[in-house]
Chains A and B, each alone.
Chain A
């Protein structure tokens, strides 16, 4: 090794994203009204692409193979941190490119990009958090910009209402989460995740500890839009600008899972909590119930929606349920693979789901309606965009046209391997249901005849570029799933060890 980067550089992706946000604010304060859309969107894209590059580079160089502990162990950079940093910054890049066209006539452009990159900073920090205090702070750093972003279309009542609802539910679950943290701290006397695990042997307060763990779980359920804290999600995703829906349903959800995986595996080892002296709460059982209920509710609700965006919103709840299998099938002796299944599904999901919502952004840009019928015959007008959307939808449904099939297969396969074949069976049935509503969109676009004329006056470059990039990656993840799975298992192995 001729040259060694300083250890704090391990947080490179986080720093780059944070600096990008600050830079955007500087642009805005120099010329509040004159900064061009191109500069803002370009800066945000460039910043997130640098973060993508850094996290990919670190992964390839094996930076996280030996966890790097920073700031008295309250932050840790391991393979999982970098894996998720890659997901968040990829989604941020796609969203930033696509927003260039979407925000054409909107105000608060600089603030928009600054908030997006700030939220992304919070998310990468969440993936690195090794102390409950940092978890809380980074969660808020990711959440607060999100509330504002959902409501950023100030003149649109849906947007404002969604933002308010999101904010209220968010505030409530934050306080539940904070209370849960304080209970855990009260019992174990520490906020650092590894130390909590060490201090778990305090039998006299097991009830309080159990309550605290359940409250922490509730906080994560909110962030990942899992039942029972899911009901903000359809409203928020529907009311928010479509690129923000993409951002929240892909990156923000993944962030919730990243931190949930770490907290539950490192701080609350399930063997101790079920059988040890500290036997207090079987959170794996809770996760199993959550997983089954979340996927079923999400998928069946999605099947009954009238608008495409709302359908995608509910289906994203369903996908949260699939990923929850990653937690729910633990303790089956196959932990590494189950967890890796959840992680790799989140990575693939980051691209396919972002792509699907960006297609919605495109239709909103063209002012095509929101219902399924409004998409009728769109393929004859915009064959490229519709082909790409078809790829996303079939991937989300788990047909083998891209990585979506791979990650689902590995996830369900690992669950069966861990002995939780019934979880996989519920997942498979849900997948079959999801094909119904996803193919409704495909049917509308390709097979139905157009009911009216579309007013497609232009093909926005930014949105098209983002869609194409997301589609290419989604498809390439089928043949190129090997490295994803490799890094995911490495990351998972480090956590469950």
Chain B
């Protein structure tokens, strides 16, 4: 008999007999009832409390703010997608700026070291955010791969202000995640951090040192 069969058999033939499965009441996960302003304010308060930065940008002119941001942070090489509207708008605006755009639509094997060592920042869209915990959610795609939000020292994420849900639970249920999970789904709440050296917080231990959220409103 295989390990699998043995394990399952032992679990099925329990000495103390079959177990009753209790019902779960998820009420405590819902019913926050925040308005859109409250959601945004809460998101902002929480993500900044864990060292995330938030910048409010205008819907029409957000790329202008992006250019200024890149200038103040001395970001010269920016990695970004091609087909997502956010990436397209950014590419257009940055074409004339003095910024090197790094393509990410190629197998990582071909440019791993370049990505690890020569990219100053990654720009991504986001699916939305969660007010309760100050989290962004991302579903990486072939246009915006998994490592784009992890490897470069700065992560710039663009969030639509009206895409903030109250809780993680509601986000999942309202958007029907269980029907349609991607190969990788992420919640990101602040830049990479550790407290492993005597409980002292340090940022950027493996992932980005800085997370900047551009909130389009």
A and B bind? no
CB within 8 Å of B: which residues of A? none
